[in-house]
Structure 1
Amino acid sequence: MKPDSDELLGKLTFSSPISELMRVLFFYSLQYVVLEKKKKYHIFRQEDIVAFLHKSEKDTSISKLFLFAEKGANTRTNLPSRMKNSERMLCITAEKETYITTFEEVKYRCGEDEDFPLWWNIPLPLLTMKDHKVILNAKAQESFSLEDFSLKRVSDALQREDRLLEINADENEKRVFYFEPLLADIYLIDEVTSDLSAAEDMVWWAAVGKAWAQKMRRDGYEIHQVDGIQPSPIDLLGADDYLTCVWDEKILGYLCFKKMKEASK
């Protein structure tokens, strides 16, 4: 049976055996893992981990791998000097967080930007801009394509009063995102496609109802609105009929109408 990807990540912690770490790296086709504890970061290649296992001669815990790096490191981190910012890697923290990130984000978290918040990898999609680049946190990278959030698109959206970004997913589908400011230049990405679609649908049918009511009045009908309750006999006295007004399976009220005069010309 194929393992569940979320379950694999959720179970991997500093206390997990290194064999489980290798399993996750192979499952996600990742070459690197980042271990973080108390703002100290160490990056390992698959070859480094295999060499450590060979030296240890047993399947030890991931925490021992971090301690091994600590003994041989005099700096806060051992970031490679040559690596693409887009390189995907696994990140495991001593605080029991495990997620897939990029080398660019790791550099920020390592201290190249001290203003980068520690809560950056909360399980909500976040976005920030720095040095003319758009940076997505791990959750945003899982949910969205970085190509959709280009620098120009995001910059234009943030200059709008409503901070909305529209993306044409395909010929028949449009996705809309709202950037909610959280702190400084960090924004929560909220997809509001369904909300806006529902609002547009509501406005449309409100316009349809208004146009219909105006036509009925021109045709000589008197319209009486009854909110939220079944029309009483008094409401229906002399009325030709009534309509039940329903939205999202909820009865909002009723319209009673009666022919009063000849249609206006």
Structure 2
Amino acid sequence: MNMTPVALTIAGSDCSSGAGIQADLKTFSYHGVHGLTAVTCVVSETPHTVSDIHAVPPAILQDQVRLLLKTYPVAAIKTGMLYSKSHIVAITELLENSAIPLIVDPVMVATSGSSLLKDDAVRAYMERLFPLATLITPNMPEASVLLEREITQSAEMEDAARELAEKFSTSVLLKGGHLPESEDRLDILCFQGQIHRFTSSTVDIHSTHGTGCTLSAAIAALIARGSDLPTAVSEAKQWLHGAILNSLRWPDQGQGETLCLNHLRPESL
């Protein structure tokens, strides 16, 4: 019997396939994990813009997750775009007694700058979902929202990661993708009270659509395969860097070009 590890993504559908459940499935497949999906929203978007968002009714979302957890030996779960308080509550009602590792990417704003979250959802994240998480993966703007102060410099990241970890009693990967372009990319992991620093060179690329989704999916896949959290984060970051370096490109009228992370063959091009 082929006991392939199973991971579940609970996220939005991105019609451009650079982010959301489409990116998660490609990431899971690359890492040898069978991917399951519970769709929260259908999003009309490209790397340049978000055109429209259609939310799936929370009861349908909950039914998807309930059925999948009943049927498959899910070894890791990641959440992406959850959209509203009702969607977050629907998920937490099913996961509050679960021992499955849970990676929460608190998706609030698209790379294009468009809001992807209803106003009432932030408090639901903090009060209902974060306390259940094995790891949360905010970027600097999201950390600023959660801490109610601006986090803009690398020197502020370690204290912010510690504060978030203590506040929500979970591990935190604070992503530094919004640091000035002159600086290397720095991510800070606070795990069991210890700080792990991960750095990579800045890639000169105008679109990184889907990097947050892809990173959290890779971490979930590696955990499903048995890695500990610091190892999963380290290997996921290295793999993501290759996916960015080898991004796929197409000419696009009026926009210059359209880019997509290379989820399936990041080292081979």
TM-score of the superposed pair, with normalisation by structure 1 = 0.25
Is the strand fraction higher in 1 or 2?
1
Larger relative contact order, structure 1 or 2 (CA cutoff 8 Å, min sep 6): 2
Rg larger in structure: 1
